[in-house]
Amino acid sequence: MAPVGYTVEVVRSRRARRISLRVTPEGRVRLIIPWWGSKRVALAWAESRREWIERALERARARRSECPPMTPREVEELRKVAKVRLPQTLERVSARTGLRYGRLTIRNSRSRWGSCSSEGNISLSLHLARLPEELVEYVCVHELCHTVHHNHSAEFHSLVNLHTAGLEKELAKQLKNYIPGR
Ligand SMILES: [Zn+2]
């Protein structure tokens, strides 16, 4: 295989217990290091995983070429659907879980599916509107749980699991098959 150029983004994580590598659907290479870990050791390990990274980048590229980016017109069409669908789902999940939020904003975000401010306002990506309902619900649960825990602590994840029938990991895995805007 021809060598592939890539940049390794180093991410320090409070949650991580070991060094790990992730190639995102957009083709970014993230090296996750526990907060106590050595960057030099982690970079050397990443270098030893070069072949794996190149294969993962190749797979991500193939998947992206199967689904080209949405046109601006398609995004605007999707925005209309999102404005009807997302508030309904969020409202329903909020009622079911008893987790309250402030305002909902729908954005053309491609970097994240959702976010929650410290004031409990939720922002959702309009690109959620083309995902299966169970994944939209999962993102809503995730963001609503941030109104209680403003972090990704163990307590946060157990709350998410409580409201997803223990399926957080499985749903998170499914969500990774989608790229916002494609
Ligand atoms: Zn989060």
Residue 73: what residue type?
A: R
**Distance, CA of 106 to CA of 144 (rounded, Å):** 15
- State residue 1's pLDDT score: 46
- State residue 25's pLDDT score: 84
Domain harbouring 113, CATH code: 3.30.2010.10
**Distance, CA of 110 to CA of 98 (rounded, Å):** 29
Cβ atoms within 10 A of the Cβ of 152, count? Answer: 15
Pair (98, 47) in one structural domain: no
- State residue 182's pLDDT score: 83
Cα 155 to averaged position of ligand 1 atoms, centre (Å): 12
Cα 1 to averaged position of ligand 1 atoms, centre (Å): 36
Pair (158, 85) in one structural domain: yes
Pair (128, 142) in one structural domain: yes
| Residue 127 and residue 141 in contact, taking contact as beta carbons nearer than 8 Å | no
Residue 58: what residue type?
A: E
Pair (168, 81) in one structural domain: yes
Pair (151, 165) in one structural domain: yes
**Distance, CA of 19 to CA of 169 (rounded, Å):** 19
Residues of the chain with pLDDT under 50: 1-2
Structural domain contains residue 1: no
Structural domain contains residue 2: no
Pair (50, 104) in one structural domain: no
Cα 88 to averaged position of ligand 1 atoms, centre (Å): 21
- State residue 64's pLDDT score: 85
pTM of the model: 0.76
Structural domain contains residue 61: yes
Cα 160 to averaged position of ligand 1 atoms, centre (Å): 10
**Which tokens in the block code for residue 41?**
């050791």
Cα 94 to averaged position of ligand 1 atoms, centre (Å): 16
Pair (86, 144) in one structural domain: yes
**Which tokens in the block code for residue 72?**
């601006």
Q: How many domains does the structure of the chain reveal?
A: 2
Pair (168, 83) in one structural domain: yes
Which strands form 104-107's sheet, in the order they lie side by side?
A: 104-107, 122-125, 114-116
pLDDT in tens, 26-41: 899 999 999 999 999 9
- State residue 32's pLDDT score: 96
Q: Give the range of the structural domain holding residue 111, as residue numbers without chain letter.
A: 72-175
Structural domain contains residue 3: no
Pair (83, 152) in one structural domain: yes
Cβ atoms within 10 A of the Cβ of 120, count? Answer: 17
Pair (132, 50) in one structural domain: no
Cα 168 to averaged position of ligand 1 atoms, centre (Å): 12
